[in-house]
Amino acid sequence: MPEGALEIDRISKRYGDVVALDEMSLTVRSGEMLGFVGSNGAGKTTTMRIALGVLAADSGEVRYDDAPVDRTIRSRIGYMPEERGLYPKMKVLDQLQYLGELHGMERAEANRAANRWTERLELSERRDDQLQKLSLGNQQRVQLAAALIHDPAVLILDEPFSGLDPVAVEVMSTVLGEMRDRGVPVVFSSHQLELVQRLCDRVGIVRRGRMIADGTVEELRSSGPVRLNVHAPKAPDDWAEGLPGVKVESHQNGHTTLRLDEQADDQQVLRAALDTGPVHEFSRTRPSLTELFREAVTEEPDE
Amino acid sequence: MKRTLHTVWLVARRELRTRVQTRAFVLGTLFMALLVLAFPVVTLFAGASNAPEDELSASDSTTRLGITQSANGLADPLERKAGVDRPAISVRKVADTETGKNLVREGELDGVVAGTPTAPELFVERHVFPHLERALTTITYNNQLDAEMSRSGLDPEAVRDRAGRGEVAIVSMGESQGAADGPMAGISDAEKAQRLIIAMISTFLLYMFLIMTGQMISQGVVEEKSSRVVEVLLSTIRSTELMAGKIVGIGLTGLIQFAVIGVLGFTAATATAVLTLPTFTVAGLLGWAVLWFLLGFTLYATMLAAASSLVSRQEDLQSVITPVIMLLIVPFFVGVSVLPTNPDGTTGTVLSMIPGFSPMLMPMRLALGGVPLWQGALSVVLSLVASAAVLWLGGRIYSNAVLRTGARVRLKDALRAS
């Protein structure tokens, strides 16, 4: 049973003048699933590649179970690169067995695991087919099996859900959930934020090579701006102007959406609304992950 | 270390398996085997039509000789002179020259020796017995020498004894002493011709195999890059292990094919008597060819793997591997044009020791014979040194470039970046 946490500790990487990662840090604990979000080019893939040792960092360290990740530990990581790829002309079972052996498994053991995973991912009938003869969805399943074949202690998956059909998304979610429940730290990047919100225990938002927000979905949502929806039919257009910490986002037919920052007092807003006449609705909403993400990555666009 | 070796072997095994199982490999081997088998057969027929000696020596291994009373002193030396791998000579006495000539016409004898031991005459239907001529020439020469020595008051036996003490050590590379029974000058024209043919064929085979396996290396490297599988692989093994495994696996694939065709070819040539060199000479030459295949392959395969890792698509491959392929083509043509006419010339000797040229030129020189041991050893050592340098450099280029997909990676960037 894997027990360790994966820690990425202030890794930096530059390509000439381009800073790809700037002291990026993140921790995924045992039995935790972390969603890694950020716009394209923010540094997610680079972070994962460094964690895998496919790339070398300029500085910083990657640790598993408090020890720097070395070759032995690396071979226990399950990895799914963003650019999917296996040998197109190799048979499914041979391919998985080969990868298992490269990860240090005995031949027979790798063969058993390959059989088990093809069965689990409903690929039993395609075992002896060349990969290129499989549908795209099935190829993705083989790719997942390739990441799981050696019973990894850590899972690092780059965009595992992209290009999957809804059924495959369910299969993938279930399998990842099972791995997490067995104590494996799971980290995956995704642009499908609803999926991240639904599956992940924690979310890390990355921008320009830095982690700018990291916490449980609840934590992130409650730390974000609060919105109020007020329905006061008799209120004039400017009823909320001048209230401290309040910004009017929209006003239409007596429906007003307000955005409150930390210094705003919602009770003061309520009183101001009641002063205009009847109030039919006064509700507080938390931003969705999508909104949080949008704000996080669009804030101060030119630093 | 153990883990590394195991990983390299795993990669090599996959290469070997996936390649040997393809139809292209099986058909290619069959095709080349047929080609190699066809060659001696064709030569045999071609030879049969313009050189009847083959008919004779193939059907009748003993040359029957008549000898007149006056030339009787030649009978013993002639029978002794007939060596093991030359047609044996049987001698019988004939009454006089005319009787002997008639027997030759009737086909009872192959030739008649008349005249005296120092000035023999050989009567034959057609002159198709070079060995006979050789034997007679040598014997006559010795007889003449003995006669001259006696006339000058010397004891021929004592002189020969003293002369025999001067020793010439001739080490014929790659051949056991049985084949090295004489210096280059003692090698017959027929043997020289055979050696030349072997040299040309083995060099051509070597060239073809290096091109073919090189092609496999290039395509294999780019295939892994274009299918992106390389990233999955490199998440668990080192890039140098991947490269080494690939080179070993494809090298073995080529070697198997090379060995099958080489052994088949030489066996066929020996069986049809197109090739009459002793078996160990042939085995030695084959061994050298295999060694040089391995040396040349290591050098070229590493360069090709490194060059190929710079591009991500098969379409871009040609531009990066052409310079490397030129390093193979130029020595081949230089070798074919310079060596056969003058195998021991300075140009050939020097070039055959320069890495890059040596895998083409040295095997050819070795097949022609008469290469000093130190030259052979030096060229092997130089080639190994060059391979080590290329492996180090190529490994670096490969590691830096293999994960960069998209546009062609510049060589300078691949060498610099980490």
Question: ipTM of the assembly?
Answer: 0.78
Contact yes or no for A75 and B227 at CB 8 A = no
Domain CATH code at residue A277: 3.30.70
Give the chain A residue nearest B223 (alpha carbons): A87
CB contact A55 to B (< 8 Å): yes
- For residues A50 and A189, membership in a common domain is answered with yes
Residues A1-17: tens digit of each pLDDT = 457 899 999 999 988 88
- For residues A37 and A144, membership in a common domain is answered with yes
Report residues of chain B scoring pLDDT below 70. Answer: 40, 43-61, 81-87, 127-128, 164, 166-189, 273-276, 406, 417-418
- For residues A42 and A134, membership in a common domain is answered with yes
Query: Whose structure tokens read 């091109």?
Result: B211
* Interface size, chain A vs chain B, as Cβ–Cβ contacts under 8 Å: 57
- For residues A205 and A238, membership in a common domain is answered with no
b/e map A44-71, b = 16+ CB within 10 Å: bbbbbbbbbbbbebeebebbbbeeebee
- Position A296 in a domain: no
How far apart, in whole angstroms, are the C-alpha atoms of residue B216 and residue B20? 12
Whether A6 contacts A64, CB under 8 Å: yes
Report pLDDT for A289. 77
Contact yes or no for B228 and A88 at CB 8 A = no
Determine the Cα angle at A218 with ends A213 and A220, to 5°: 20
**CA B20, chain centre distance (Å):** 26
Report pLDDT for B183. 40
Which residue among A54, A87, A102 sits closest to B231, beta carbon to beta carbon?
A: A54
- For residues A65 and A191, membership in a common domain is answered with yes
Residues B19-56: tens digit of each pLDDT = 888 888 888 888 888 877 777 677 666 655 544 444 34
How far apart, in whole angstroms, are the C-alpha atoms of residue B251 and residue B244? 10
Q: Which tokens is A55 given?
A: 């790339």
Domain boundary among A193, A216, A239: A216
- For residues A118 and A238, membership in a common domain is answered with no
- Position A182 in a domain: yes
Whether B71 contacts B114, CB under 8 Å: yes
Contact yes or no for A54 and B18 at CB 8 A = no
- Position A1 in a domain: no
How far apart, in whole angstroms, are the C-alpha atoms of residue B357 and residue B363? 10
Q: Which 8-state DSSP code applies to residue A130?
A: B
Report pLDDT for B170. 60
Number of domains making up chain A: 2
Domains of chain B, each with CATH number or no CATH: 2-46+187-416 (no CATH), 60-163 (3.40.190.10)
Identify which of B238, B231, B178 has the alpha carbon closest to the alpha carbon of residue B7.
B238
Domain CATH code at residue A119: 3.40.50.300
Which residue among B228, B229, B235 sits closest to A52, beta carbon to beta carbon?
A: B235
Contacts of A75 in chain B (CB under 8 A): 236
Closest chain B C-alpha to A207 CA, distance in angstroms: 23
- For residues A229 and A254, membership in a common domain is answered with yes
Query: Whose structure tokens read 């390299």?
Result: B8
- Position A198 in a domain: yes
Give the chain A residue nearest B242 (alpha carbons): A102
Crossing angle of helices B314-338/B279-308, nearest 10°?
150
- Position A139 in a domain: yes
Chain A (84-103) residues lying within 8 Å, Cβ to Cβ, of chain B? 84-90, 98-99, 101-103
Report residues of chain A scoring pLDDT below 70. Answer: 1-2, 297-303
- For residues A194 and A274, membership in a common domain is answered with no
- Position A298 in a domain: no
- Position A294 in a domain: no
User: For residue A89, what are the domain limits?
Assistant: 6-216
- Position A291 in a domain: no
Write the DSSP string, A54-88: SS--SEEEEEETTEE--HHHHTTEEEE-SS----T
Task: Give the contacts of A265 (CB within 8 A, at least 6 positions apart).
Answer: A244, A245
How far apart, in whole angstroms, are the C-alpha atoms of residue A264 and residue A260? 6
- For residues A132 and A262, membership in a common domain is answered with no
- For residues A186 and A236, membership in a common domain is answered with no
Task: Give the contacts of A102 (CB within 8 A, at least 6 positions apart).
Answer: B7, B10, B11, B233, B236, B237
Contact yes or no for A81 and B231 at CB 8 A = yes
- For residues A16 and A72, membership in a common domain is answered with yes
Give the chain B residue nearest A91 (alpha carbons): B18
- For residues A212 and A229, membership in a common domain is answered with no
Contact yes or no for A88 and B227 at CB 8 A = yes
Q: Which tokens is B417 given?
A: 């970046």
CB contact A53 to B (< 8 Å): yes
Count of helix runs (H) and strand runs (E) in chain A? 10, 14
Report pLDDT for B58. 36
